[in-house]
Amino acid sequence: KSPGFSVDASAMGMLTTAAALANGSKQVELNLGATIPGLASTTLAIAIGEPAQFSPWLTIGEKGAVVRTAQTRIKLVASVGGSNATLGGGISLLAVKLPLHVEVASAEAKLTDISCPTGHPDSLKVTIAARPGLASLHLGASDADNSPSAFADFSNPQSFQNAEIAQVSVKLLFLTLNLIGVNGSAAVEIANNDPTILTFNSTDIASKTIKNASTKNLTQSLTTSLVNNLSLSVSALGLGLDVTALLGTVKPAVVALLNGVTAPVDELVYNVLGALGVRVGEADVRVMGATCGRSVLVQ
C-alpha cells in the first residue's frame, strides 16, 4: 500500500457519507483540501444518479428519436503540488491547475426502425441502436461551472472551452512578468465506436424485456490519455505581448506535472464511483410499447 493510503480512506469516508446525505438534492460538494497525494488542494462536485429518460410519442413514420442519460457527473478542480519550479531562461512555473470534468455511464438509445413485416401486430419489430459509454473526460471550463442546476441537468450535454491550466513568471533583465497565463483544454471519450443493434419483437415489448449493450473499448488510465491530448496556448494577460515562444519550454513541464498526479486522480474518481454504486459501460434498454403506426416510450 502506498504512503497516504489511510488519508485516501479518510477522504473516501467523507465522500461516502456525503453521498448518503445527498439523496434529496442528488448533488454533493466537497473540499478535500490536501488529502490526495500530489495535490495541494482538491474540490469535488458530484451530481448523482439520473433515472431513465423517456422518448416522446412519435407521429407515423418518424425515426431517429434519441434517449440519453448519464448516471454521474464529477467536477474536480485541483491545484498540483510542486508546481513552483524554475524552468531555466528566467522562466518560473508558479501554479498548475487540473480542472477535470467526468461524465460516467452515459448511454444513448436511438429508435432506428419500427415495422410489422406481415401486417399483423404479432410481427411487430422495433430496432434500437444502443451506444453505452464508459466515460467522457474534459480538461477545461464548463458552461455549467457556475450553475449547479445546469451541472445536474443530465438531459443537456455540457459544453467546454479553454481554462487556465498554469501561471508563469518570466524575468527579463530587471523586469519580471507575473501575468502570463497558460490556457488549454482536452477531451477523451471511451465508448463503443459503433452502436449495438437491439431488436425487440412483440413478445419482448409485451413483457417489457430489458436488453443489454456493453462497452468493449476500455482503457487503464483515462486521465493520462486526457493529459497527453492537452492543447495549450500562452498569453501575457493584459499586456499585448507575443509570448508564444514560451510554449515550447512551459508545455513539457506542465504535462509532466499533470501526468505525475493522474494515478491518484484516477483512483479518486473510481473510488467515488464505487462509493456511489455506479455501474459503468453498460446500457439497459427496453421498449415500453409500440404499434406499427406509432412508437411508444423507449426507455
- Could you state, in order of their start, the residue ranges of all structural domains in the chain? 5-278
Element (H, E) at 255: helix 247-259
pLDDT at 1: 34
- State mean pLDDT over 11-36: 64
* pLDDT value at 14 more than 60: no
- pLDDT of residue 39 exceeding 70, the answer is yes
Separation between Cα atoms, residue 299 and residue 295, nearest integer Å: 12
Q: Per DSSP, what are the bridge partners of residue 183?
A: 164, 233
DSSP letters for 226-249: HHHT-EEEEEETTT----GGGHHH
Tens-digit pLDDT profile for residues 101-111: 998 877 888 89
Q: What residues contact 168, with CB distance under 8 A and at least 6 apart?
A: 91, 92, 93, 94, 180, 181, 182, 234, 246, 250
Question: What percent of the chain stands above pLDDT 90?
Answer: 22
Secondary structure (3-state) at 294: coil
Residue 57 has pLDDT above 80, yes or no: no
User: What was the pLDDT predicted at 125?
Assistant: 93
Query: In this predicted structure, what is the pLDDT of residue 37?
Result: 85
If you average pLDDT over every residue of the chain, what do you get?
Answer: 78
pLDDT tens by residue, 112-148 = 998 888 888 889 999 999 988 778 899 999 999 999 8
Report pLDDT for 238: 61
Cell of 212: 443489454
Res. 55 pLDDT band, cuts 50 70 90? low
Residue 178 neighbours by CB distance under 10 Å: 12
- Please report, for residues 53, 68, 195, 211, 289, the alpha-carbon distance to residue 208 in angstroms, rounded to integers and kept in the order given: 16, 19, 21, 10, 8
Instruction: Give the Cα separation of 226 and 45 in Å (integer).
Output: 19
Give the 3-state secondary structure of residue 23.
coil
Neighbours of 157 (CB within 10 A): 14
**Section 191-205 average pLDDT:** 89
Confidence (pLDDT) at 267: 84
Q: Sorting pLDDT into bands at 50, 70 and 90, what band is 278?
A: confident
Where does the pLDDT of residue 8 fall: very low under 50, low under 70, confident under 90, or very high at 90 and above? very low
Q: Cα dist. 252→175, 181, 241, 292 in Å? A: 25, 15, 22, 59
Judge whether residue 298 has pLDDT over 70.
no
410499447: which residue's cell?
289
pLDDT reported for residue 203: 95
Task: Give the per-residue pLDDT at 54.
Answer: 62
Task: Summarize the confidence of residues 205-222 as an average pLDDT.
Answer: 79
Least reliable range by pLDDT among 34-38, 54-58, 242-246: 54-58
Residue 4 has what pLDDT?
Answer: 34
For residue 108, how far is the Cα from the chain centroid? 15
Kindly state the percentage of the chain with pLDDT values over 70. 75
CA dihedral sign, ordered 191, 146, 66, 273: positive
